[in-house]
Structure 1
Amino acid sequence: MMKKLAFFTLGTAVMSFLSSVPVTAATIFVEPIITRPNPNFPDGIGLPPMLPPNTPLLWNFPDTSGEQNFLNDTGFTITEFNLILLTEQFNGDDVVWGDANGDGQIGQSDIFSSITLNPNNLQFPQLDITEGSIPSGNRFVFQFISNPDLTPEQPGDNGPILAAGIYDGVAASVPESSPGWGLVLLGVGYVSKEVWNKQKKNKGKDK
């Protein structure tokens, strides 16, 4: 049975990060897959209506939650995603953006033509997914894979890797007013807009 994801909007949120272990035995490669709807997947949940750009999103992966056709119900045409890895290590192994499926590139998409590592973010590994669009009202697949495959044996369990992200977009209609603070959970955990904006500010200082 496919796990249903929950969305929450909160006034404030606090996030803490675990310190990394200095010695590792291996590297775990992870990458996103963003494609047009998969006919073998059911139509799934939508990003909340009128969810404004730059609202932090959170994913646990890899797991079966990505096996659905998400709905862009934001009222915006999504033009890019910016993703960061929050899990730096798992069982002593480094977790990095990388070629998890052996196709010679990081990330896979038939919607966005550019998927690149951002060298300016020294705090968290960042992946920028650009040069494409998902119109409001369209469905799409958004999932992550890892090598080695860390998908839980029990369907519906959350994957052990955590990533955060934001999207940018163009309003498809006049949006309703939205709270100044918020977050969206896709799985378990949370990240606040304050933390994300602080991270972006730190990135700008490194340029």
Structure 2
Amino acid sequence: MRIVIADDHAVVRSGFSMIINYQEDMEVVSTAADGMEAYQEVAKHHPDIILLDLSMPPGESGLIATGKIHDDFPETKILILTMHDDDEYLFHVLRNGASGYVLKNAPDEELISAIRIVYQDGTYIEPKMASSLVKELVKQEGEFEQSDPLQALTKRELEILPLVAKGYGNKEIANMLYVSVKTVEAHKAKIMEKLNLNSKPELVEYALKKKLLDF
């Protein structure tokens, strides 16, 4: 896994680099001190994951960089690394394309676990904040409309949707349903198109609204 670390404190970048480089399957390929530099390093190295701090004064913040990086480099997963255990920050970065949110004071093993989950196309939410996310999304739940696009999904797509929302990777889903990885990828693309969704967080929100996680 090729990783970029973006944080305005050199000691933080150094510390997390040591933790990550100690892993046999991980390598920090570059670091950045603000959001603009983070964007430039992603453009240069095309990493698998970027660990992105939210607050990086006086340069461009991670809040702004999240949306830019997700839009221009969707193949790079964004894992937010911050001291802010604030629900609003969490909702904002997920809506703008982040795949995970972990606090800086979390144990080393939690950070490494979050990186592995995000790398495998999963979504990682800091455990203390997961319940807040679920409550907020469920609060927005609405009734099915007659023209609900969910009705346009095939049986197979209805099987795959909740598995994707739960964080399973393409290979895991393929093994569960006894189909090829390419078949899963094709169904996922169709699901996103039919439901008019643009990102993984939107898919998770949709699945929660429709109570599909126990499907």
> Smaller-chain TM-score range?
under 0.3
Tell me which protein shows more helix as a share of its residues: 2
User: TM-score normalised to the size of structure 2?
Assistant: 0.24
Which structure ranks higher in relative contact order (CA pairs < 8 Å, sequence separation ≥ 6)?
Answer: 1
TM-score, normalization by structure 1? 0.25
Q: Which structure has greater strand proportion? A: 1
